[in-house]
Amino acid sequence: MVVSIFPVADLVSRVGGDAIQVETLLPPRASPSTWEVTPAQIRSLSRAAGFVTVGGGLDSWLEGLAADMPRLRRLRLTDGLKLHREAGNSGEGKTGDPHVWLDPILVRDSLLPRISTFLQLLAPNEAPGIRERTAALADTLTRLDGELRAELSSLPRRGFVSTHDAWGYFAERYDLEPLGSIYESPGHEPSAKGLAHLVDVARASGATAVLAEPQLVETAATALAGELDAQVIVVDPLGGPGLPGRESYTELMRTDGRAFARALGAPGARGH
């Protein structure tokens, strides 16, 4: 089984258990917008029984490859979902914000059942175990949501600025307000007018932190933080093996929850 990004791969692995061997194609700290598939990964894909992507334009770098492998069974998790409009991603042919995995309740109620059904199709003899692990993971996601809600429910601020417009589903779930982002979409440099507007909005909101991502160069976040006399706090939408606190989906979400809490917490709570 080949999966495009780590958070989804971890969910697939937890549902599949020992019955499903999972390989993640996007390495830790890499960006889906710039990653180029290696020949070894193409070989892995050609041998795989199944292939899971997010869709919504996030992993289009793999869609063409899979199209050339008609026997490969595929699951695109956002098919049929009504996606948020992503900033800078409107108009004909645009598919919306694909960062659906950053809402654990959306994962529990929409993504997890799709993963479970797909794995049972690939390994019908393992269906009872897959269903059991699916139910257990659903309970885990419910508890995770409760933890995040408690962490984020009574902060002095709700608005945040970020380097990348990735946190809309997370913000909606936990009643936070995205004030704007430096890069409306990865690979597109911000305009001077857009940055000036973001500085004005962030100042007006009393923002004391800029949320940066390890997949994107931090220079722009540092410059914006300097304009605002704010701190830079790292949040990570992807995680991966070897990244402390981000080596499973649940660890990643808890770590990001704590980072948001620091960013939106009491004035003077500094930290990277």
Categorize the per-residue pLDDT at 200 as very low, low, confident or very high, splitting at 50, 70 and 90: very high
| In a shared domain, residues 183 and 214 | yes
CATH number at residue 254: 3.40.50.1980
Do the domain assignments include residue 272?
no
Q: Are residues 200 and 230 in the same domain?
A: yes
Measured distance CA(144)–CA(57) in Å, rounded: 27
Question: What's the mean pLDDT when you consider all of the chain?
Answer: 89
- pLDDT tens per residue, range 138-184: 999 999 999 999 999 999 999 999 998 899 999 999 999 999 999 87
Question: Which runs of E-coded beta strand occur in 137-261?
Answer: 159-164, 177-183, 209-212, 231-234
Is residue 9 one of the residues assigned to a domain? yes
**Cβ contacts of 65-72, under 8 Å, gap ≥ 24:** 65/37, 69/45, 72/45, 72/46, 72/48
In a domain, 224, yes or no: yes
- Is residue 214 included in any domain, yes or no? yes
Name the nearest CA neighbour of 228 among 258, 200, 256: 200
Instruction: Decide which of 121, 148, 175 is a domain's last residue.
Output: 148
To the nearest whole percent, how much of the chain has pLDDT over 70?
92
Asked if the model's pLDDT at residue 94 lies above 70, the reply is no
pLDDT, one tens digit per residue, over 172-188 is 999 999 999 998 765 66
> pLDDT tens digit string along 230-243?
999 999 999 999 99
Residues 162 and 217 in one domain: yes
- Same domain, yes or no, for 134 and 168? no
- The listed range with the strongest mean pLDDT (8-12, 82-86, 223-227) is 8-12
Give the domain extent around 158: 154-263
pLDDT at 266 over 60: no
